[in-house]
Every structure is written in C-alpha cells, then in structure tokens.
Amino acid sequence: MTKSRVLSLAVLVLVSVLLITAWTDAEPATGEPRLISVTGEAEVRVVPDEVILTLGVETWDKNLDLARRQNDQIVDRVLAVAGEFGIAPQHVQTDYVEIEPRYRNGYYEDRDFIGYFVHKTVVITVRDLAQFEGLLAAALDSGANYVHGIQFRTTELRKYRDEARALAIQAASEKATALANELGQGVGEPQQIEEVQSGWASGYNAWWGSRWSGGMSQNVIQEINAGSLPAEGSLAPGQISVRAAVAVSFELQ
C-alpha cells in the first residue's frame, strides 16, 4: 500500500470518528420522563350562613346643613331598624359619606345650582337568614333609597376552597388516567402541580345611581327542588359557588 493511500485512509477514519461523535453529542438526553399534562376543575355549592346588606341613603337640598340633617335622620332610623331585628352593633356600620354639589346642565353658576346631594352607606351583616327579607323591607320603609349590594356568604369559605381544590386534583388524576388508558399507557407520579383558578361567586351587585326597585336580579347560582320553591315575591338565598382549577403533569409510563 502506498504512503499516500495510507494517509487518505487515516483521514477518512478520523473524519468518520468525528462525525459519529458529533451525532452522539447532538442526541437528546435520555432518562427524562415522558409527561401527560391535564387540568382538573371542581365546584362546591354551599348554603350561605350570613348576608352582607349594603344600603344607601341619599338626601339633597340647596341648604347643606338641612341636607345633612335629613340624611342623618334617615340613617338613624335605619340603624334603629337593625337594632329592632337584634343585629349586634359591631355588625352595623356606616362606611361611606359623600357630599356632592350638583349643577343643571353642567354649568357651574349659581342660577344652575340644584343643591347639595348627601350620600351615606350603611352596611349590615345579617347572621340569621330568616330575618333578611323583613329587615330589608323595614330598612327601605325607614327611608333608605338605594340597595348597593346583597351578598350571601359563608363564614367557612377557607374550608370549602380546600375542598374544591382537593376535588380538582382528583379530577385531574382521573382525567390523566383515562387519557393514558386510551393510548395503552399508565400514569406515574405527578411532576408538576399548578393552581390556575380559585374563587367564589355570590350576591347582588349595585352602585350609586342604581336606585332600589323590585326588579333587581340575583346572581347567585341556585339549585331549588320543585318541593322547596320560595313563595312568590320572596328572595331565595340560593347557593354560593366555590370553584377551583389545577394543572397537573404526570409521568407517562
């Protein structure tokens, strides 16, 4: 074999070794788990054990002192109603006061002055739901002219949030198992868990400028059996919806 031919063969072997080494280094790392990623959602519906009633009192007059006195008198009557229903003082509070001068057509001149509008908000926490409708009617009769909010709540919200999360995790596990089985695979240990949603929904919503009327609609999710329908014209407290959603990645076997 000639010297040049031996040299060419050596170069070819060296190039081949380098190519194999480079291809081996470019291979993806082995041993990484194959994953199946799913989401799980759950909803727990809870019977409320308290109601937060937010009422507004609005009075107005060109004389500011008179408008304020009239407002104070109505607020005092609303507080008296709460006392008559046995609501503890710590569960009744005035948390919003506003005095707004208004002018006709937006012209800030004395001849266009309408008067001073005085707003106060009274928040009442009702622990006995059986008193709610009677208290609301009596408060409106006493002079409260706005209903800003009626929110049904539970004092054990943390408990039900934990329950909803646990159910969401269970739902994710069951979904991953079902999907893997369809592909002839198994599910191993969870590799990653993330909470993607947690919250609760309940109550009415209103604001200044939304005067009380009997047509207010309820935003509470309700499940009422035919045998337990409320009497016509009454307000059913419904149920609080506590929701949770999680994203989980499992090892695919």
Give, for 253, the enclosing helix (H) or strand (E): none
Range name among 41-55, 129-143, 176-190, 213-227 with the lowest pLDDT average: 213-227
pTM, two decimals, is: 0.63
Q: Tens of pLDDT along 91-128?
A: 999 877 899 998 887 666 667 889 999 999 999 999 99
Banded pLDDT at 10 (limits 50, 70, 90): very low
For 99, the enclosing helix (H) or strand (E) is: strand 92-103
Mean pLDDT of 11-29: 40
Report the SS3 class of residue 53: strand
Which value, to the nearest 10 degrees, does the dihedral of the CA atoms of residues 226, 232, 233, 239 take? Answer: -10
CA distances from 41 to 195, 233, 239, 248 (A): 10, 35, 19, 11
Strand order in the sheet with 113-126: 92-103, 113-126, 50-61, 146-153
In this prediction, residues 194-220 reach a mean pLDDT of 54
Q: How close are the terminal C-alpha atoms of the chain, in Å?
A: 56
Residues whose CB is less than 8 angstroms from the CB of residue 245 and which lie 6 or more positions away in sequence, other chains included:
39, 40, 41, 42, 168, 195, 196, 197, 198
Mean pLDDT of the chain: 77
Sketch the domain layout of the chain as residue ranges: 35-45+158-199+245-252, 50-153
CATH class for the region spanning 50-153: alpha beta
pLDDT exceeds 90 at position 11: no
